[in-house]
Amino acid sequence: MTRRTPLAALAVLAVTSLAACGGGDADPAAYPEDDITIVVPFAAGGPTDTVTRLIAEPMAEELGQQIVVQNVEGAGGTVAAGQVADEDPDGYQVLMHHIGMSTAPALYPDLEYSPLEDFKTIGLVTEVPMTIVARKDFEPETLEELVTYVGENADTVTLANAGVGAASQLCGLLIEEAVGVDLTEVPYDGTGPALTDLVGGQVDFMCDQTTNTTGQILSGDIKGYAVTTPEPVEALPDLPTTAEAGLPEVEVSVWHGLYVPADTPDEVVEKLTDALAVALTDQNVIDQMADLGTTPVAEDQATPDAHTAKLEEQIDSWTPIIEEAGVTGE
């Protein structure tokens, strides 16, 4: 016993010393040494999920580690955001979120995290136009006819969305305000399942991103009325803008960006930002985004500074609109 006790003590001392020196902590200079998870706040197959999976492969190649996409649904994206905010700030848990990151503070007064204080931004990814679409046998043929029909049949028309705070819900809110009606909203856990029901005729119409609707519109599976951006979308040449079609009040695009917990080392943030920049110049990503009716952001927008500025501007823009409408996620 007397001969073994010093060895045991040395073993304990070695473990204690290693922990004291930070041996159990990740080394930012060596990042990444393991798989990275990008958490998506909405259902698999939806537009945010699609954008994430497009950039994940070239980012993984640049970083030299696999990137796993995890879908964590619920409460307009706040469940996923809260999960990532509470993760170790080591760069292995990354959040992909869209416009909902800027609307959450107004929609959820008791929000357990601050978009500006509890995260560091990595960079913007893409700004996706939205489309106003309907089941293929819905009576109105144009946006003008849709406005008239909705105004006359508000009690029976169903408006699908991905839940409170989702981009589809915000776009629908703008339509209701512009037309002056309150419609029966049908919330889903993501626009992926909502679009499935729209194709199946279970709901009447909805707003959704071009990344989710372009193929369905072109195939005739759903009816397209307009795009919600000032400029037409090249992939959907037959769709007017909402301004051209007589509904200029409805103008919204869905910007996406990557986030990590606030205390993540700057060196890790820089590596993720660099990998994002590489992904956004990947020709396959550019081509596939074009097919989906969007484009990667410009190089100067795929940075933490530009991303933070966008987040601040959008919080300031959406907060009064949401508060005036009296919409809440609680």
**Omega before 32 cis (within 30°)?**
yes
| pLDDT at residue 7 greater than cutoff 50 | no
Q: Are 266 and 260 in contact (CB under 8 A)?
A: no
Region of residue 83 (left: phi > 0; alpha: psi -120 to 50; beta: else): alpha
How confident is residue 47, by pLDDT bands cut at 50, 70 and 90? Answer: confident
For residue 156, the tally of other CB atoms under 10 A from its CB is 10
pLDDT tens track for 251-284: 999 999 999 999 999 999 999 999 999 999 999 9
**Domains of the chain and CATH, by start:** 35-127+254-325 (3.40.190.150), 129-227 (3.40.190.10)
Computed over every residue of the chain, the mean pLDDT equals: 90
For residue 48, is pLDDT > 50? yes
CA distances from 240 to 129, 132, 212, 215, 253 (A): 12, 11, 18, 17, 15
Pairing of strands 93-97, 36-40: parallel
Structure tokens belonging to residue 274: 């660099």
284-306 pLDDT, tens digit per residue, is 999 999 988 899 999 999 999 99
CB under 8 Å, gap of 24 or more: what pairs does 320-329 form? 321/173, 322/103, 322/106, 322/107, 323/106, 325/173, 325/177, 327/107, 327/164, 327/173, 328/107, 328/108, 328/109, 328/164, 329/75, 329/76, 329/78, 329/104, 329/107, 329/108, 329/164, 329/165
Q: What is the pLDDT of residues 210-258, one digit of tens each?
A: 988 999 999 999 999 999 999 999 999 999 999 999 999 999 999 999 9
DSSP 296: B
Show Cβ contacts of residue 90 under 8 Å, excluding neighbours closer than 6 positions.
Answer: 25, 26, 31, 264, 268
pLDDT tens-digit series, residues 89-144: 999 999 999 999 999 999 998 999 999 999 999 999 999 999 999 999 999 999 99
pLDDT tens digits along 34-45: 999 999 998 898
pLDDT at res. 26:
64
CA distance 63 to 69: 15
Q: How far is CA 146 from the centre of its chain?
A: 28
